[in-house]
């Protein structure tokens, strides 16, 4: 016979911090590295246009995703339990539109403020988000929603 801990889904994904903090911490590390090891500046005009082209959709993606969570009456914070799966809007194309939106905002801010090292740190940031947040969320959602989440994973990519 299985014990309750073996059959009951966990009460939350086990993420112990709001994911935007991870993006902010890596950005601050980029700022520190930029101060300690200055790099060449990026071309001003193209980087500002590109920054806007990333910041605006990034903000839109994050807020749209949050709105869908609120409409579904489920918690967007991975420290708390989820009550339903959201599969509409941007969730038709990516399982993680909030993290994708935050990545666009991060990249746009790095370009806007000319923080070269923040751009260099993007692959590490993505690896941290996957390891510390997304994988935990995926395990939790599969344990909580079972086959419905497995179908969602099979139909929709993690990023894009």
Residue 8 is predicted with a pLDDT of 66
| Domain annotation covers residue 132 | yes
Share of the chain above pLDDT 90, in %: 79
Residues 47-67 have a mean pLDDT of 95
Give the total number of structural domains in the chain: 1
Question: What separation, in Å, do the N-terminal and C-terminal C-alpha atoms of the chain show?
Answer: 41
CB of 160 closer than 8 Å to CB of 100: yes
Residue 67 lies in a domain: yes
Q: Per the domain annotation, does 28 fall within a domain?
A: no
Asked if the model's pLDDT at residue 50 lies above 90, the reply is: yes
- For residue 28, the tally of other CB atoms under 10 A from its CB is 12
Only one residue has tokens 């935050």, namely 102
Domain membership flag for residue 126:
yes
Count of residues making up the chain: 160
What does pTM read for this prediction?
0.90
The answer for residues whose C-beta is within 8 angstroms of residue 102's C-beta and 6 or more apart is: 19, 20, 23, 58, 62
Whether 94 is in a domain gets the answer yes
Q: Is residue 87 one of the residues assigned to a domain?
A: yes
Domain that holds residue 144: 51-160
- Inside any domain, residue 5: no
User: Residue 34 falls within a domain, yes or no?
Assistant: no
Tell me if 140 sits within 8 A of 9, measured CB to CB: yes
């Amino acid at each position: 016979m299985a014990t309750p801990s073996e059959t009951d889904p966990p009460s939350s994904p086990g993420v112990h911090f709001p994911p935007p903090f991870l993006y902010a911490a890596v950005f601050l590390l980029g700022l520190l590295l930029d101060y300690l090891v200055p790099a060449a500046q990026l071309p001003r005009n193209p980087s500002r246009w590109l920054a806007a082209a990333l910041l605006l959709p990034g903000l839109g993606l994050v807020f749209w995703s949050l709105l869908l969570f609120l409409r579904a009456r489920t918690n967007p914070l991975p420290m708390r339990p989820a009550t339903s799966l959201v599969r509409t809007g941007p969730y038709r194309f990516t399982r993680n539109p909030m993290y994708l939106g935050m990545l666009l905002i991060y990249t746009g801010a790095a370009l806007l403020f000319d923080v070269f090292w923040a751009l260099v740190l993007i692959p590490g940031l993505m690896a941290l988000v996957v390891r510390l947040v997304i994988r935990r969320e995926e395990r939790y959602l599969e344990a909580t929603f079972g086959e419905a989440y497995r179908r969602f994973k099979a139909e929709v990519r993690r990023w894009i």
